Structure 1
Amino acid sequence: MRQRDPSKRFTKQEKSWIFYDWANSVYATNIMAVIFPIYYASMAGDLGSKWWGIGVSVASLVGALIAPTLGALADFKGNKKKLLFAFILIGALSTAVLAFVSDWKWMLIGYVISHIGFSGSCVFYDSFLPDVTTDERMDRVSGWGYAAGYIGGSTIPFVISIAVMLLRNYDPIAMKFAILIVTVWWLVFSIPILKNVKQTHYVETPPSELAKHAMSNLWDTMKRCVSNKGLFIYLIAYFLYIDGVGAVISLATNYGATLGLGTTGMIFALLVTQLVAAPCAILFSKLSGKFGAIKMIISAIIMYFIICGVGFFMGRLVEPYQLDYVSAARTSIAVQGVAFDNKEDEKAWSSLTVDLVEDTRDVLSEADRAAAFDEVVADYIRQAGDATAVNYVFTSDASRQTAVAALTNIGADLDVYAADTAKQEAYNGARTTATTLFWVLAALVGTVQGGIQALSRSYYGKLVPQSRSAEYFGFYDVFGKFATVIGPLLYSMFYFLTDRASVGILSLLILFGGGGILLIAGRKELSKTEKEMRAANAVMEAEEA
């Protein structure tokens, strides 16, 4: 039975719990948010960037589906820490594998597996919160957890990774180092939670009946989540607004890369996010004591409305120039009037020209884009004329000659486009403004990202029974992970439909708006549930004593 600690000092268990945010936050920064998405985008091009949102959704979906069952198993005596350790290993080791594959499809598969390990470990980590602290200290401990993640876990290995990448000019070895440091950091700094934190609240059951009782408790918890009006309102609201938060995190650098913003500038801007987020997470936990957690969460949602609006405007500055180029390139391709006698050649030509447009658009922001265009086109001419090529396979020498001749003419047209200095200057000006706005967005996100995550976790911890925290946090994770299925899918869907990434960013307002409205409308029910659970947990603690 833990004792209430009226002092401001953290207990050994609280410190060890907080330190796990220090351990695993490097995954969120290097793999989910910044470095790996940029590395992936450089390997996959525009097509892979569109699939990125789908890959994130798949990872979140699988993690969400297994979370409730894992939570139900973890609530039984002695299971929580074992499962935490298992998922730390899955996440950390599969992350290391990402450094040794180069095909974007395998990179995406590896990311999905590592993300499942990361998200699974977070279920057990979050559910340890009621085991290590009291309701009165929960907001503070949760806030300091996120702050530790931003101060240490995100910032220190992130800065080391940036330094190595700058020194090596973003070569593959530097990117692989930035991935491998995640595995080492995560494993080493997970030792305190595995050594010092104990599962003080649990459900007793014979090992032979573990699966039976887990399924029974899972069903019971599901019914309680639905029948308890306050808890249900909170979970649906959380489902909506945390989706937007997760989408902003996972799509930020991919969005910037799609707009042609510089890699170095984006990385340093997101470092600003980490530095701003650490004190703001602590500030949010303090302000929640004065204004209440729900009001602070709503204020963060309002800020995310502003963030999405600025992000949309940033995209609208750059996209007209990109779309103008895509239109010119497609017109040049159409003018060639290329036709083949068989479907195999038609398919090869269609695939080649789609990739050509995407790859030349990616170098549109180069200082000497005429030379960059020539380099890309020359590579495609080489592949089209190579009888042993594997990417674009034409069936005869005549077909290859036709493709090469058409590509040569397209290259000449692109040189004419590149020679329009007025367009290039206007595009560069738009990119400069968009880059400045990206820095502004990074700072704005930092003011609310840690706070909304920390308060969402600690407030939920006050709405659930302590002895079944893992089970309930399993459902919490379901709602969070299913939310991050919808956000990236919304982004990708609107991007595919409109060919404008900015419209995908704007679609996230649907989620923030829905979550905010539910929290405002359900304030009375939320307050009622919080009071009832505080009384129930007090009775349980008295019985344990």
Structure 2
Amino acid sequence: MKLNNAKTINAWCMYDWANSVYAIVIKSSIFPVFYNTATQNAFNGDIVDFFGFQFVNTALYSFAISFSFLVVAIISPLLSGIADYSSSKKSYMKFFTYLGATSCIGLFFFTGENVEWAIICSVFASIGYTGSIVFYNSFLPIIATPDRHDMISAKGFSLGYIGSILLLIINLICISNPQWFGLDNTVLIARFSFLTVGLWWMGFAQITFKSLKESKRSIDYSRSIIINGYREIYKVFKELKSQPILKYYLTSFFFYSMGVQTVMYMAASFGSKELNLLGNKLILTIIIINALAIIGSYAFAYLSKKRTNKFSLMNMLAIWVGVCIYAYFVYTDYQFYILAFVVGLVMGGIQSLSRSTYSKIMPQNTPDKASYFSFYDVTEKLAVVIGTFSYGFIEQWTGSMRNSTIALGLFFAVGIGFLLMVRIPSSLNFKKA
């Protein structure tokens, strides 16, 4: 595949446009709010019955997300190994895309009392989303040279935010005007929004699938491709011993990812339960957060260009620590809006720059880039498992999400400590790119 081809790069970025509607509508806004309200109405409170076991509704959702990421973390090496030795990264990316999209469509049938169905669909949607990202990320070093990674990564995230905001606004307008559809409440329209996510995701992903190409490789069937993925992950793990820059960076990434992803999943639930914010206010806040994330993606990419990637990441992590401490003391709408404003600025930047920084400092001449990106994704997924489980466990144990935010702050602080130990050579900063 030709490097730095504009058409290919644009098509790659369009997958962010396609799949980010899941991250915003299902993961961060309409579904969490609908889930909280629907389960409270169905069970007359926050305690729900899940296959005969009693859980706090939001804690159960947090556990479900944790489980889905654990599944992906376990199977990612397997999938990476198969993809490496069969030149079929795109095929597996398609599989997970369709799994996630159809699961979103399945959420249309969640009405409140069938909480088991909602959790199962949520788990498969999350597996589809995160599984497809494993293969999506592995295409970045194949389509562009390292000096272009920061801005391409930022462009992808920005397109994702723009597309997801567009669909979210459309759904919000429809939810706010049920009379347009001859309805007297918003329940059916909210459920219909889950359907639109699945169709949008599958539809726009076709642009990416059409343009991404893979070089043909001969397949050595004498090797066990089932085991090979795990061997490759272990190989990368052993190679980290001789790569201190990568080792400390991944350790830092592991800890601060516990916080970033958990905030993204649980922010709407926090506003709904702790502050009793109405659904339309929460969704509007999510729109603002993601609009600001576009600015943040480019702003911190520009900062890394002028200074260094490490400098940009350190500043964002310091802000994240402050966000977690401030969240504990948030009690009013306006305080929550201030919090959302800051989260928006650093949310896009931390994701975009983390991915591009890793693509720079990983070995550039290795033929198995998918294995390195699989290791990166497994690291992130395990971080989310611990982060979301900790968040749900603390809420289930103490009865308050506020206590969970303190734990997230500690994760970010540890991330800062390990990032301080990272010494990125100046030749990898690409300031003149």
Is this a same-fold pair by TM over 0.5? yes
- SS, match of residue 209 in structure 1: coil
Partner of 1:264: 280
Partner of 1:398: none
**Contact 1:53/1:489 (CA < 8 Å) preserved in 2?**
yes
* Structure 2 gap segments, 5+ residues each: 41-45, 47-55, 179-183
After the TM superposition, which residues 378-417 of structure 1 pair with which residues of structure 2 at under 5 Å, given as runs?
none
1:197 correspondence with 2:97: no
After the TM superposition, which residues 296-311 of structure 1 pair with which residues of structure 2 at under 5 Å, given as runs?
296-311=312-327
1:32 correspondence with 2:27: yes
Structure 1 counterpart of 2:167, which letter? P
The separation in 1 between residues aligned to 2:285 and 2:277, in whole angstroms, is 11
1:163 correspondence with 2:173: yes
Structure 1 counterpart of 2:169, which letter? V
**Contact 2:233/2:374 (CA < 8 Å) preserved in 1?**
no
Segments of 4+ in structure 1 off by > 6 A? Answer: none
Count of paired positions:
405
Rg larger for: 1
How far off its partner does 1:209 sit? Answer: 3.5
The separation in 2 between residues aligned to 1:41 and 1:114, in whole angstroms, is 18
The CA deviation string for residues 289-328 of structure 1, in whole angstroms up to 9 with x for no partner, is 11111111111111112211221111xx3xxxxxxxxxxx
The separation in 2 between residues aligned to 1:529 and 1:59, in whole angstroms, is 38
Which residue of 513, 523, 538 corresponds with 2:413?
Answer: 513
Identical positions, percent: 31
How far off its partner does 1:50 sit? Answer: 2.1
Which residue of 453, 469, 474 corresponds with 2:351?
Answer: 453
Structure 2 counterpart of 1:116, which letter? I
Partner of 2:244: 229
How far off its partner does 1:287 sit? Answer: 1.6
CA 1:512–1:204 in 2, change beyond 3 Å: closer, same or farther? Answer: farther
Partner of 2:422: 523
1:151 correspondence with 2:162: yes
CA 1:280–1:242 in 2, change beyond 3 Å: closer, same or farther? Answer: same
**Contact 1:203/1:468 (CA < 8 Å) preserved in 2?**
no
Tell me the TM-score normalized by structure 1: 0.71
CA 1:230–1:267 in 2, change beyond 3 Å: closer, same or farther? Answer: same
1:503 correspondence with 2:398: no
Structure 2 counterpart of 1:123, which letter? V
CA 1:132–1:210 in 2, change beyond 3 Å: closer, same or farther? Answer: farther
- SS, match of residue 84 in structure 1: helix
How far off its partner does 1:469 sit? Answer: 1.9
The separation in 1 between residues aligned to 2:408 and 2:294, in whole angstroms, is 24
CA 1:176–1:287 in 2, change beyond 3 Å: closer, same or farther? Answer: same
**Contact 1:87/1:118 (CA < 8 Å) preserved in 2?**
yes
**Contact 1:161/1:178 (CA < 8 Å) preserved in 2?**
yes
Which residue of 111, 116, 121 corresponds with 1:110?
Answer: 121
Partner of 2:80: 71
How far off its partner does 1:227 sit? Answer: 4.4
How far off its partner does 1:206 sit? Answer: 2.6
After the TM superposition, which residues 145-544 of structure 1 pair with which residues of structure 2 at under 5 Å, given as runs?
145-152=156-163, 154-168=164-178, 171-200=186-215, 204-207=218-221, 209=223, 211=225, 213-259=228-274, 260-314=276-330, 317=331, 434-465=332-363, 467-520=367-420, 522-524=421-423, 526-527=424-425
Q: Which stretch of structure 1 is more off in the superposition, 446-455 or 460-469? A: 460-469
How far off its partner does 1:464 sit? Answer: 2.4
The separation in 2 between residues aligned to 1:483 and 1:138, in whole angstroms, is 24
- SS, match of residue 353 in structure 2: helix
* Structure 1 gap segments, 5+ residues each: 318-433, 535-545
How far off its partner does 1:170 sit? Answer: 5.6
Q: CA RMSD in A?
A: 2.1
How far off its partner does 1:462 sit? Answer: 1.5
Partner of 1:122: 133
